[in-house]
């Protein structure tokens, strides 16, 4: 299975994919795209010999045009699955339509709680004691697609969002790489009786 990855920042989730699944079990990361030319994630991809490209919004008439360009490039690279690994932009319905049930995201909260930006700070402000990570399919909402995997961690004394995120990073890496491996071997199935329910069979 060929994988395209969208990134905006440091790229630690991308690095986990490169280290743990790239070139293994028939999985190949073939393309990494970013909305930011200076994203450190791009250099991680280049070091691994993976094709990269920048799609800055100012170079396009609007977001759908930019997303169409990204989608076309990913298709040309042969991507069969698209992974959002710290990609900080919403994707247009037309983009998602090119990859039906083939776009996944990792989010630092136990969805459906605390979707969107600053999820950990949202959770802290709410006073929760249990944090977590979700890997889910992307739909045209904000972090509203069907859940593939989740894992929770109790942090009853947590007060600082950056400290919580540091604790969540290893979980993000584990869940995201696991999800990609499961999808590659056909171990993630949509329940025919409920399209929002995902069965993990692998």
38-66 per-position pLDDT tens digit: 999 999 999 999 999 999 999 999 999 99
DSSP 8-state symbol, 183? H
End-to-end CA distance of the chain: 16
Question: Any idea which residues carry the catalytic annotation?
Answer: 107
In 24-143, beta strands by DSSP E: 28-34, 51-54, 81-84, 103-107, 130-137
pTM of this prediction?
0.95
Instruction: Kindly report the CATH number that applies to the domain delimited by 2-191.
Output: 3.40.50.170
Q: What is the mean pLDDT of residues 26-47?
A: 97
pLDDT at 169 over 80: yes
- Rounded CA gap, 140 and 83, in Å? 15
pLDDT at site 191: 84
């Amino acid at each position: 299975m060929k994988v395209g990855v969208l990134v905006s920042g440091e790229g630690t989730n991308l690095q986990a994919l490169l280290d743990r699944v790239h070139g293994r079990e028939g999985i190949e990361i073939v393309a990494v795209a970013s909305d930011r030319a200076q994203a450190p994630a791009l250099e991680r991809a280049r070091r691994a010999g993976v094709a990269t490209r920048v799609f800055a919004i100012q170079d396009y008439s609007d977001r759908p045009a930019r997303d169409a360009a990204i989608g076309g490039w990913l298709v040309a690279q042969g991507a069969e699955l698209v992974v959002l690994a710290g990609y900080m932009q919403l994707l247009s319905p037309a983009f998602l339509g090119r990859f039906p049930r083939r776009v996944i995201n990792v989010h630092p909260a136990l969805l459906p709680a605390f979707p969107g930006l600053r999820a950990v700070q949202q959770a802290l402000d709410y006073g929760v004691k249990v944090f977590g990570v979700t890997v889910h399919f992307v739909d045209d909402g904000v972090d509203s697609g069907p859940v593939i995997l989740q894992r929770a961690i109790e942090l009853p004394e947590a007060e600082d969002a950056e400290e919580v995120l540091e604790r969540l990073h290893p979980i993000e890496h584990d869940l995201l790489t696991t999800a990609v491996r499961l999808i590659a071997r056909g171990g993630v199935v949509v329940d025919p009786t409920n399209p929002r329910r995902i069965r993990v069979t692998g």
